[in-house]
A = this chain, B = another copy of it.
């Protein structure tokens, strides 16, 4: 609600939020504690069971409080969050306190609160939580709750591999990145760069989804990326966006933005129906027609999480400091920033991701010189994921051109950004157009599930073949070699998209059912995030290129 009000002020939503906030405030105990599970149950047992998520909930409350304060200027929820944070700080950050958080998130919340209030205790407490890992404070007597599950194998600064529950891991590293920024601690950064490589080079789906295993809602072993049985929790893709935004801000390296965009437009967005009220918990890359989005459900992390992401999307488009301006995502939008102590209004117009044409109007109080960093998406250079795991088979690196007021302008490339140095004056227009060929993507051979298969990508959008567009079948096709792929304007329900079409071999039982027939047929592929909006049916992202894939269907 806070993030949404920032984009779209709405009295009705604000009134509802105020009413709910008053309930939340009334539930807070005099000492600042707030968690109704124990308040309505046995309060003597608070802070004894790490899987009750007391600090996880507290972290979300802190983030909500800051978002609501920033949107409305109202402090009631912020004050609740501050009292709660103070309570936790005095409870935890004492000598020999044996505790760690089962499900990370409080680190993120505390850093939001620190950045808003400037109270250094919150930074210290966030850092304390991070440092509790790797000490094996809790050991459960089961195979489920392993040190891996909780990112508790080693201290965070020594970590090199992604392990365990995917959402917990993403929240940990997002909070750690926040602490790294505030504290300037390079140890965290070093560790996170290693872990990030472990994620994207060995454990990430083409959709930017992570956490392939439903057993632990998380990571299994390197390259174990099944398509039909992909878990790929929506929240984990949201977590990828959160973490990569911070890594991008910390490093200025475009590869983090590339992964962010991939997770955003594919793995995360797929969690939400086109109608906006149905949710996938898991996001498989192939379906036999058993999968379907649900209405609001019990463990409602994903619905709330994807809503938070979509409402907060405005925060990911631009970057700025007092000297420079960054364009990271290409989304029609307005923003105002202050550069060189000059107010700069920016308006971006684009139909991205359906084409790569972008136009940016710059308005300033007075002419001033500063560099504009325009992201050059990896896919324009045939680079799918940091030069690893996934490869483009048919592409060429694009030659780039940027224009100011219709005339080409010099730029230099650095960390994947085009840096346009210019003295900007009122009404200047930056424009450029990235080509959007259809890319045929293949996987590293270690990803056994994708061997002899191809996936289509265009711009940041990953495609799938769904039964709804293909006579209710998607598992009976084999791609032909060197067959051109066309783009067409298409509708999935009321969603205008660019779809793909190509001729493929279609396998069908003969009329008498005694044999199989192979015929040529035009198939239609749609953006992955739009699938399963027209009923349950077959779908696949990775399309077979060899007849041998056609076998008994399990």
Contact = CB atoms under 8 A, between A and B. Distances in A.
Contacts of A141: 49, 51-52
A509 interface: yes
A234 to B, nearest CB: 17
B550 A227 contact: no
Contacts of A514: 480, 505, 518, 547
A95 interface: no
A476 interface: yes
A393 to B, nearest CB: 18
Nearest to A507: B516
B552 A550 contact: yes
A550 B507 CA distance: 9
A510 B228 CA distance: 27
B51 A142 contact: yes
Contacts of A392: none
Contacts of A49: 141
Interface residues of A, number: 42
A286 interface: yes
A516 B513 contact: no
A515 B547 contact: yes
Nearest to A102: B141
A475 to B, nearest CB: 4
Interface string A142-155: 11110000000000
Interface in A383-413: none
B547 A549 contact: no
Nearest to A548: B509
| Identical copies of this chain, number | 2
Contacts of A299: 143
A544 interface: yes
Contact of A554 (B509, B513, B516, B553): B553
A550 B550 contact: yes
Interface string A76-109: 0000000000000000000000000000000000
Contacts of A433: none
A10 interface: no
A540 interface: yes
Nearest to A518: B515
Contacts of A228: 554
A366 interface: no
A214 B509 CA distance: 34
Q: Which of A142, A473, A515, A554 has the most CB of B within 10 A?
A: A554
A19 interface: no
Contacts of A549: 552-553
A348 to B, nearest CB: 41
Nearest to A477: B552
A420 B144 CA distance: 55
A287 to B, nearest CB: 10
Nearest to A51: B141
Most B CB within 10 A of own CB, among A141, A145, A510: A141
A444 interface: no
7 contacts: A476-B551, A507-B550, A509-B547, A513-B547, A515-B518, A551-B551, A553-B553
Interface of A: 49, 51-52, 141-145, 214-215, 226-229, 286, 288, 299, 473, 475-477, 480, 505, 507, 509-510, 513-516, 518, 540, 544, 546-554
User: What are the 9 tightest A-B residue pairs by CB atom distance, in nearest-first order?
Assistant: A509-B547, A515-B518, A551-B553, A475-B551, A475-B552, A228-B554, A51-B141, A516-B516, A52-B141
